[in-house]
Amino acid sequence: MPEIQINVAELLKETVGAARSFDLNSTLLDHDGMVLGAATGDLKITKTDRGVWVSGPVKIMVLSECSRCLNPMEYVVPAQIDDEYLPKVDLATGARVRVEDRDAEDADTRSIDDHHELDLTETLQQYRLAGLLLAPLCNEECLGICSQCGVDLNENTHECQDELDPRWGKLRELLR
Ligand SMILES: [Zn+2]
Ligand SMILES: [Zn+2]
């Protein structure tokens, strides 16, 4: 499964405070490999005494449908990444780095693997989940769909509006 990985091997060899910018422009997938949408951002990766610090604004595109008219739509979940990633392996010695005072889940998500790559996938998935809208709207003024016939009321032509008018009800009965 494709992941959003950044190789920090070179940066890890530099001195504390050295930084790189990273232009994030990837497709975010879910755990089953389904496309969730684009993820973009301007990240700064800074060498720390223990690993690297990743920071910067990201935009996560969410493919959804309007909660009123059910038309496909997309919206952006903005987030601010600000996390330290620590290597599992010491670059110089190749020895396992002991993970202290970090819970297991966090250590797994925010770690730099044996190939000196850190993976933003999990972090971005978490931000996306936290930013999902319960009732997204394609437009604040979206009229939704007709409860009678299901037609999109944002479109002008709509024939069953007459039925909603009680004055026509009797006449319609007589014509039946
Ligand atoms: Zn709508
Ligand atoms: Zn209708």
How many angstroms does the Cα of residue 164 sit away from the middle of ligand 2? 8
71 alpha carbon to ligand 1 midpoint, in Å? 6
Place of tokens 């959003």: 4
Using CA atoms, how far apart are residues 79 and 2, in angstroms rounded to an integer? 22
pLDDT for position 26: 93
Q: Which amino acid, residue 144?
A: G
Q: How confident is the model at residue 160 (pLDDT cuts 50, 70, 90)?
A: confident
pTM given for the model = 0.76
pLDDT (tens digit per residue) in 95-122: 777 665 555 556 667 889 888 999 999 9
Whether residue 97 contacts residue 88, with contact meaning beta carbons closer than 8 Å, is answered with yes
- What is the predicted pLDDT for the residue at 167? 56
> In angstroms, what is the span from residue 129 Cα to ligand 1's centroid?
22
Output 163 or 123, whichever has higher pLDDT.
Answer: 123
* pLDDT of 127 over the 60 cut: yes
The rounded Å distance from CA 69 to ligand 2 centre is 13
Average pLDDT over residues 43-66: 96
The pLDDT score that the predictor gives to residue 22 is 95
Instruction: Name the token pair of 80.
Output: 């601010």
The pLDDT value given to residue 48:
95
Site of tokens 């319960």: 134
Cα distance between residue 19 and residue 145, in whole Å: 52
Q: Tell me, what's the pLDDT at 84? A: 93
- Residue 73 Cα to ligand 1 midpoint, Å, equals 8
Give the closest ligand to the alpha carbon of residue 146. 2
Rounded distance from Cα 137 to ligand 1 centre (Å): 5
Contact 120, 113 (CB under 8 A): no
Distance 160 CA to ligand 1 centre (A): 19
Tell me: the pLDDT tens digits for 7-30?
999 999 999 999 999 999 999 998
Indicate the pLDDT class of residue 158, thresholds 50, 70 and 90. confident
Closest ligand, as measured to the CA of 153: 2
